[in-house]
Amino acid sequence: MPLALVTGASAGIGFQLARQLAERGYDLVGVGASGRIADLQDRVARVEVLPVQADLSTAQGVDRVWAAVEATGRPLDVACLNAGRSLGGAFLDTDLDDELAMLALNVTGQVRLAKHVVRHMAPRRAGHLLVTTSCSALTPTPYESIYGPTRSFMLSFAEGLREEMAEHGVVVTALLPGATATDFHQTAGMGATKFGSIDWKNDPALVARQGLDALFADQDHVIGGDQATREDAARNRTLSDPVKAAEFARASRPQQD
């Protein structure tokens, strides 16, 4: 059986990535921040699951995850760097330590884990690396003013790494979900925004399938979501940044009572 690593595998898009990789015959190393990752084996039938509870915003957490992968003694065929979170609110008000912790999870931790992954895959001249970023990478993100840049960083990182890794036989693909129906906006404290309350969000199972299909088709990137999401992303490539910023703020700005 081939082996896949999925971070953020306990919920949302990451759980769907894990479930669908299991359906495709991959054993799993699944990572989550809380104890609920322990349930992954029960939720994903027929394959072997190694759950790892680790805080990927810390170097120790990332190293614990990688030690668990190495302890399997098996080559890692697929890695999905997916765990991430946002923090909503006006930058004037948001907590700096919370923002720095988000940067550590969404950027530093991802880079640290990617280093392990590519140094493992390149000598084998085989492997697939899927990086979950966001359609937020394509626009300024007022009232999520640190989150969006973390996704832009990861998109640019993934696309650069893709070019480097091609000569080593390793595929790198970026997944850019649009707004998706997970706990993400609630966790970000964005319940009182249009993003938090909209009921048209994309199905995480669809987003995950599009990501995996793109990865195995060796595509540079894919927009995750329905036709309207793909049209929005295409439109975002044409609008000026100030126009996009004003539009984004209408959905992300906390609403007054």
Ligand X SMILES: NC(=O)c1ccc[n+]([C@@H]2O[C@H](COP(=O)([O-])OP(=O)(O)OC[C@H]3O[C@@H](n4cnc5c(N)ncnc54)[C@H](OP(=O)(O)O)[C@@H]3O)[C@@H](O)[C@H]2O)c1
Pick the closer one to ligand X by CB: 80 or 121.
80
Q: Applying CB under 6 A, does 162 fall inside the site for ligand X?
A: no
Is 147 designated active site? yes
Q: Applying CB under 6 A, does 183 fall inside the site for ligand X?
A: yes
15, 66, 143, 147: which is the annotated catalytic residue? 147
Return the CA Rg of the chain: 18
Minimum CB distance to ligand X, residue 175 (Å): 8
Minimum CB distance to ligand X, residue 83 (Å): 4
Contact 8, 34 (CB under 8 A): no
Minimum CB distance to ligand X, residue 126 (Å): 25
Pick the closer one to ligand X by CB: 139 or 180.
180
Helix pair angle (59-71, 109-121), 10° resolution: 30
Q: Applying CB under 6 A, does 139 fall inside the site for ligand X?
A: no
Q: Applying CB under 6 A, does 8 fall inside the site for ligand X?
A: yes
**Per-residue binder mask for ligand X (CB under 6 A), 195-234, x = binder:** ----------------------------------------
Angstrom distance (rounded) from CA 116 to CA 120: 6
Q: Which long-range contacts (CB under 8 A, 24 or more apart) does 54-60 make?
A: 56/7, 56/31, 56/83, 56/105, 56/109, 56/110, 56/113, 57/101, 57/102, 57/104, 57/105, 57/108, 57/109, 58/104, 58/109, 59/112
**Per-residue binder mask for ligand X (CB under 6 A), 92-111, x = binder:** -------------x------
Q: Which residues lie near ligand X (CB under 6 A)?
A: 8, 10-14, 31-34, 36-37, 55-57, 82-85, 105, 132, 134, 177, 179-180, 182-184, 187
Catalytic residues: 147
